[in-house]
Each structure stands twice: as C-alpha cells, then as structure tokens.
Amino acid sequence: MLGHRRKKEERHEAIDPGARAARRGERRIRAADAPEFAQRLGQSYRESFALYDANRDGVLTREEARGSNLLLAQFHEMDLDRSSAVTRAELERFLEAMPPSAR
C-alpha cells in the first residue's frame, strides 16, 4: 500500500513541481524546480485561455474567465488596455513580463 501511495505522489510531482516542495513540508519551490514550474504556469495560462474562450474569438471576457480561478485572479493585470476583455496578444504580453522560462 505504501508503494502505491509513493507512486501516486511521484506522478503528482511530475505534473506539479510545487507538490514536491509541499510533500517535504516546504512552502516555496526550490530554485532548481522554478524554471519547470514557470514554464508549466505559462502553459497553464495559454491552455486555460483556449478552454474558457467560449466563443473562440480570441478574446476572453471577465464572464468567460469566471470559470478559471487562474485567469480570474490575474484578469485585471492581463487586461492591459482596461477594456474588460483580454486578447491573446495581451495574454502573451502578460506572460512576457514573467521570467523567460514561463514563455
């Protein structure tokens, strides 16, 4: 049973590098894990944008973003022109402000 639990934790860590830190009781991600985490975070933003852009027009409204905690939490920062909508170009500019490994 313990072996099964360990394998499950390893699979989870492969998906979420922050899980590795949490399992060790740490609150922060180790520097060695940061590039991988940042890259996955950028990919998560892009995938969430595509998923929640309900009408597939390349523009995410606040209403569409309500389905994603990730997008909703950063909506104001991503909406660079304050139009109450985020375009794919705005998303990419938002991600460019992140560390290079997140792009």
AA identity, residue 84: S
Q: Any idea what DSSP says for residue 32?
A: G
Vertex 62 angle, CA 67 and 101, to 5°? 75
Mean pLDDT for all residues in the chain: 79
51-81 as b/e: b if 16+ CB within 10 A: ebbeeeeebbbeebbeebeebeebbeebbee
Q: Which tens digits make up the pLDDT trace of 53-83?
A: 999 999 999 999 998 999 999 999 999 999 9
Q: In the prediction, which pLDDT does 12 show?
A: 46
Q: In the prediction, which pLDDT does 77 show?
A: 94
- Residue pair 23/13 in contact (Cβ under 8 Å)? The answer is yes
